[in-house]
Amino acid sequence: MIKSEKIIRSTCPYCGVGCQVDLQIKDEKIFRVDAPFGVAPNFGRLCTKGRFGVDYVHHPSRLTKPLIRKEIGTKPRKAIGMEGFREATWDEALDLAAEKFVGIVRKKGGDAIGSFCSAKATNEDNYLFQKFVRGVIGTNNIDHCARLCHAASVAGLQISLGTSAMSNSIAEMKDLDVFIVAGSNTSETHPVISTFMREAVVKNGAKLIVVDPRQIEMTQFATRWLRQKPGTDVAVFQAMAQVIIQENLYDSDFIQKRVDGFDDYAASIQESTPEWAEQISGVPAAEIRESARLYANAEKAAIYWGMGISQSVHGTDNALSLANLALLSGNLGKTGTGLNPLRGQNNVQGCSDAGGLPNVFPGYQSVTDPESRAKFEGDWGVVLNPEAGLTTMEMVDAAEKGVIRGYYVMGENPMMSEPDLRHARHVMEELDFVLVQDIFMNETAEYADIILPATSFAEKEGTFTNSDRRVQLIREAVPAPGIARNDSDIIADLAQRVEEKLGKKTTAGFEFDSASSIWDEMARLTPPFQGITHARIEQEDGVHWPCPTPDHPGTPYLFADTFPSGKGQLTPLNYRPSQELPDEEYPLLLSTGRVLYHWHGGTMTRRSKLDDIYPDPTVEVHPKDAKPLNIHAGDWIKVRSRRGEIKVKALVTKRSRPGMVFIPIHFAEAAANELTLDARDPQAKIPDYKVAAVVIEAM
């Protein structure tokens, strides 16, 4: 029994900052959340979600028992509420789930299963999940929400540097000289990080360059605000690079020692002048020139970006254009410099690290590399699939064609997060079997055949890895509701049942006595983690990977001596317009994103007191666009695209530029992805959530 009136140190379950929190417990409930001073990464700071938004843990709608669809097997499957399910025992639910998976595998093979692991689950949960999918089911069809947020950042940084992680630690932000924030509404999406950025400006005189089409709060602290048209980021950054080369502002020593491709890149960019970029982006050429000089002449300069850069049909090019700027100016490999994609969810970094991607084992070891595969085969005692699996959206395509027949979804909600939801629902309706493992009934669980109740961050042990690669602990603070179980325990029991029915057995097995023992197996197979244990994390309040040996101090910033690829690679680029632009029928450009008081699909915050503060779906409309339609602040209006329509409350504001509307992604009753299109970056396979054509109508 957990005692009353105690304080449990844990890690915030919201964004990728990974704030350390003290959960104050009384009568087996969290009644207050504080932040410990003197402890990285937040040093006593918390945002409104971290401080007031964890009451979802005790919401009465928590899943407490396994559920089985009453009319299981009926197609097309329809979304149903709780009344369409019956309660079951764990044995019945897991036996049936194993039977269904084995039936599909025997009939169609392991690649007929698609699986989604979770950026909300622990590293240990995700390691065990991908081990089950790869080692028992026999497929690499495993992906998670990183595909829908920073896959383009990963692809771009892999090409440029050979790795995709954030270069620098959060602690370095307050000492910046110059920094660029692009496509990140930092004060609302990563509020604690924004306080360190603003501290650098206000207290230390740092110069901030904001690149964003919306008048976000960070523009109030900016020396330069480049207000580009959505989808024109590459043109702006190419022009900055052209100025750096033309005016000889580049770091020739750094380039000679550590960068390849300079001559070809310099030749490719000659025509990408600020005047050219102004015609495309609307950003004045003089502003582009001054920004390029400011960044290139700084002793220490860093770049931070969010999903405004990555969630694009040319997201990989966006990331590459930022990497080109850093390589040209030598702003890599020392404190206060670097390339830093700000991770969205609390463990999206860790989920990727733990192998939650279709092409890599834990630690980004390629599934197609014979040596890497042999290592995992030897340890697990199975023959592994040598082909890379399908990404999130490729699994949708395969399901539509009948190639994938079943889904295993742990802690994700694709029926809110996928673009063109009307199409996504149609695909889900035709699957043979859907297993969902979560803490709440959500839009995806409504399509499930079986729902397995899991535990929240406050009810289990394990680790999360934050945006700057710091591995940190979560600790059990309150009991689980009903008979809900830890994700790892659920996966282990399911894996053993499937193994038995398939007549195969992994040598390493799925019997673990603690989260730390799962971590130890993953670390043994993953060189960057081999110096990290739960005991060390406890002692040091977190450890940055790579940390290859027990005596290694961890790595707060990367690339001090070299890049994983040897030398950095400058990459020539061509600006390409977005796939769907406004026209006479759909004259406005839609962008989507987050707001301060809510979180992604709203599964957590909309079951929190924070929903009382921001209860309604909204759309930002510029006064110039609202006036001709007689739309006023507070009016309910329709927003329509070629794919669907939603009803939202108008916010008439100059925050969004004329010709552009902005809709938050958190409201199932007015899901922004009813409107977005399934256009994808050709390399990262990430959908374009930031540019679509819409029309607004008064009601």
Average pLDDT, the chain: 94
Asked if residue 671 lies in contact with residue 645, where contact means CB atoms within 8 angstroms, the answer is no
Compute the residue count for the chain: 699
Is the whole-model pTM more than 0.85? yes
pLDDT of residue 148: 72
Q: Which residue has the higher pLDDT, 441 or 73?
A: 441
Write out pLDDT tens, residues 145-180: 777 777 788 888 889 998 878 888 898 898 889 999
d(CA 90, CA 382): 27
**Residue limits of CATH 3.40.228.10 in the chain:** 151-342
Q: Prior bond to 479 cis, omega within 30?
A: no
Q: Closest by alpha carbon to 138, among 449, 415, 383?
A: 383
pLDDT at residue 560 greater than cutoff 90: no
Q: In what order do the strands lie in the sheet with 29-34?
A: 6-11, 20-26, 29-34
Cβ-Cβ contacts under 8 Å for 94 (sequence gap 6 or more): 66, 452, 490, 493, 494, 497
Residue 288's identity, in one-letter code, is I
Which whole-number Å values give the CA distances from 396 to 155, 423, 426, 429, 660, in the listed order? Answer: 21, 9, 10, 12, 29
d(CA 486, CA 484): 7
Q: Closest by alpha carbon to 387, among 154, 164, 110?
A: 110
pLDDT of residue 2: 47
pLDDT at residue 228 greater than cutoff 50: yes
CATH among 3.40.50.2300, 3.40.50.740, 3.40.50.970, 3.40.50.2000 for 67-147+346-457+482-534: 3.40.50.740
**Residue limits of CATH 3.40.50.740 in the chain:** 67-147+346-457+482-534
CATH 3.40.228.10 fits 151-342, yes or no: yes
pLDDT at residue 507 greater than cutoff 70: no
Q: How confident is the model at residue 312 (pLDDT cuts 50, 70, 90)?
A: confident
Write out pLDDT tens, residues 448-479: 999 999 999 999 999 999 999 999 999 999 99
Write out pLDDT tens, residues 359-389: 999 999 999 999 999 999 999 999 999 999 9
Q: Closest by alpha carbon to 46, among 168, 194, 216?
A: 194
Q: Closest by alpha carbon to 268, among 337, 321, 223, 304?
A: 321
d(CA 679, CA 471): 34
d(CA 423, CA 516): 41
Is residue 145 classed as helix, strand or coil in its secondary structure?
helix
Q: Provide the token pair at 501.
A: 């029915």
Q: Provide the token pair at 412.
A: 């994700």
Cβ-Cβ contacts under 8 Å for 67 (sequence gap 6 or more): 82, 85, 86, 87, 88, 93, 448, 450, 451, 453
Q: How confident is the model at residue 9 (pLDDT cuts 50, 70, 90)?
A: very high
Asked if residue 247 lies in contact with residue 542, where contact means CB atoms within 8 angstroms, the answer is no
d(CA 16, CA 193): 10
3-state helix, strand, coil in the chain (%, to 5): 40, 20, 45
Q: Report the share of the chain in percent with pLDDT over 90.
A: 82
CATH among 3.30.70.1400, 2.40.40.20, 3.40.50.850, 3.40.605.10 for 588-698: 2.40.40.20
pLDDT at residue 437 greater than cutoff 50: yes
pLDDT of residue 1: 46
Asked if residue 230 lies in contact with residue 620, where contact means CB atoms within 8 angstroms, the answer is no
d(CA 468, CA 262): 29
If you search the block for the tokens 């310099």, which residue do you land on? 266
Mean per-residue pLDDT, 287-303: 96
pLDDT at residue 97 greater than cutoff 50: yes
Residue 77's identity, in one-letter code, is R
pLDDT at residue 4 greater than cutoff 70: no
Burial 531-547 (b: 16+ CB within 10 A, else e): bbbbeebeeebbbbbbb
Q: How confident is the model at residue 564 (pLDDT cuts 50, 70, 90)?
A: confident
CATH 3.40.50.2000 fits 6-58, yes or no: no
**Residue limits of CATH 2.20.25.90 in the chain:** 6-58
**Residue limits of CATH 2.40.40.20 in the chain:** 588-698
Write out pLDDT tens, residues 649-686: 999 999 999 999 999 999 999 999 889 988 887 887 88
Long-range pairs of 247-250 with CB within 8 A, sequence gap ≥ 24: 247/292, 247/293, 249/292, 249/293, 249/296, 249/297, 249/329, 250/296, 250/328, 250/329, 250/330
pLDDT of residue 577: 87
Cα 48–Cα 49–Cα 55 angle in degrees, nearest 5: 115
pLDDT at residue 73 greater than cutoff 90: no
Which whole-number Å values give the CA distances from 251 to 8, 259, 630, in the listed order? Answer: 48, 10, 54
pLDDT at residue 185 greater than cutoff 60: yes
Angle in degrees, 0-180, between the axes of helices 233-246 and 315-329, rounded to the nearest 10? 20
Asked if residue 452 lies in contact with residue 437, where contact means CB atoms within 8 angstroms, the answer is yes
Q: Which residue has the higher pLDDT, 681 or 35?
A: 35
CA 77 to chain centre: 29
